Structure 1
Amino acid sequence: MIIGICGGTGSGKTTIARKIVEAVGRERVVLVEQDSYYRNLADMPLDERHQANFDHPDSIDSDMLVNHLMRLKQGLKVEMPLYDFKTHTRSDQIEIIPPKPVVIVEGILIFAEPRVLDLLDMRVYVDTPDDIRFIRRLRRDIAERGRTVDSVIDQYYRTVRPMHFEFVEPSKRHADIIIPEGSNTGISVELLCSLVREKLLEERSIPAQ
């Protein structure tokens, strides 16, 4: 079972995905983050890397992501790349992702890639107001990614906002479940956890062929 959790930058999708992992159990659920599959820009000068459009589908190595999801669905482990957001390059290290009954893949552009969309058994969209998403991104990029206030604002106007309206927001139509930001988020997460547990029980009850 592969669950896709999509939403704009700062929508809270990663937090929701991790809550599901914790609630259902790490022994049964594995999390794959689309951010790990950004293309390696090591061959570009650093100043050019900072100007790259990281919110367009072409910024993602979708071939690798699709291959890894298919391998996990087949019960095979994958070597997930690790991405350095300060230098916009892939680390020399990798993370081994073992196959588990439930795979959660989350990212801003997973619904914009038809091959990923076709692999998803459940599609969840986290719908959060633009101002809240921007504030969260601002705090995260300054605290974790070595950015300045001006650089975050520049990137937001230059690529984040226009790409959101071109690719992310329209992809909401593919969602089976839409989680609105607000006080009922916890209820929505518990509903998702219940659906996952129910699916796991169904899989166990199916007799071997």
Structure 2
Amino acid sequence: MSNNNILVIGIAGGTGSGKSTLTKQLVNHFGDQITVLKHDDYYKAHDEMTYEERTHLNYDHPNAFDTDLMLQHLRQLKKGEPINCPIYDYTVHNRSRNFQVIYPTNVIIVEGILIFENKELCKEMDIKIFVDTDADIRIIRRIQRDVIERARSLESVISQYMNTVKPMHEEFVEPSKKNADIIVLEGGMNLVAMDMIKNRIRQHLSAQTQV
């Protein structure tokens, strides 16, 4: 569990579920009072592979992530220490040479499809939110995102979805839902849930100012 000064909120859910939208709306509302740690930034580096080899990796399996490093970084943030967070470059399927310095705040959001699959990571969270969205909507969002934002071809996105994303969702992501404290339908589009989460964060921030 976190110390009393820092509230750690985990936001998980399948690809295209709306967890990033939920996170963005919270950041837009609370600004620099929130620190965000994204599991996607912790994809393992594969400098030893060619681009072609990297395109065939399974990026939806827990082993694709350096979760131990993320766990170490989260614990550092909870101690009040800044971290050098890796940056992942989706256009080349590899970790960038650069990193971003992330500073701790009183509220830390940990976001990713597989964060509830890891028991040690779950122990560091105070509130675990699983964003649940219909599979048809998720695949459409995934296609739109990967083609527009990540310069992927439509064929490659569909192939990846059928070969790894869908089976890994069924094997790892969906079962991890049982570790959640709250299940939110439609993510950032769920205004009732959004208000409840904002109120919980406000309560925590207000309590810190009174200490």
Which band: TM-score by shorter chain? over 0.9
Whether 1:60 and 2:70 are equivalent positions in the alignment is: no
Letter of the structure 2 residue corresponding to residue 23 of structure 1:
H
2:192 is the alignment partner of 1:168: no
Secondary structure of 1:100's aligned partner? coil
> Does 1:89 find its partner at 2:94?
yes
* Matched letter for residue 31 of structure 2: G
Look up the match of 2:15.
Answer: 9
Alpha-carbon displacement from aligned partner over 1:29-83 (angstroms, at most 9, x marks no partner): 1111111000011211211111100000000001110000000000000011110
Secondary structure of the equivalent of 1:91?
strand
Aligned partner of 2:118: which letter?
A: E
Paired residue type of 1:190 = D
Question: CA contact under 8 A between 1:80 and 1:97: conserved in structure 2?
Answer: yes
Is the Cα contact below 8 Å between 1:18 and 1:31 reproduced in 2?
A: no
User: Which amino acid in structure 2 is aligned with residue 136 of structure 1?
Assistant: R
**Amino acid aligned to 1:36:** D
What is the distance in 1 between the residues matched to 2:56 and 2:200?
A: 41
Distance 2:89 2:174 in 1: 26
Q: Which stretches in structure 2 are left out of the alignment for 5+ residues?
A: 1-6
RMSD of Structure 2 on Structure 1 (CA): 1.4
Q: Secondary structure at the match of 2:116?
A: helix
- 1:125 match: 130
Q: What is the CA-CA distance between 1:183 and the residue it aligns to?
A: 9.3
- TM-score, normalised relative to structure 2: 0.93
Distance 1:48 1:184 in 2: 37
Q: Is 1:154 paired with 2:165?
A: no
Unpaired runs of at least 5, structure 1: none
TM-score of the two chains, using structure 1 as the length reference: 0.94
SS of 2:53 mapped into structure 1: helix
**1:182 offset after TM fit, Å?**
7.8
Equivalence for 2:36: 31
Matched with 2:105 is 100
Task: State how many pairs are aligned.
Answer: 205
TM-fit CA distance, 1:25: 2.9
> Residues 86-141 of structure 1: CA distance to partner in whole angstroms, max 9, x if unpaired?
11111111111001000001000000111111100100010000000000000111
Give the partner amino acid of 2:143.
L
Match of 1:192 among 183, 188, 197: 197
Give the letter aligned to residue 111 of structure 1.
Answer: F
State which drifts further: 142-151 or 102-111. Answer: 142-151
Would the alpha carbon gap of residues 153 and 25 (structure 1) be closer, same or farther in structure 2, given more than 3 Å must change?
A: same
Contact 1:3 1:105 in 2 (8 A): yes
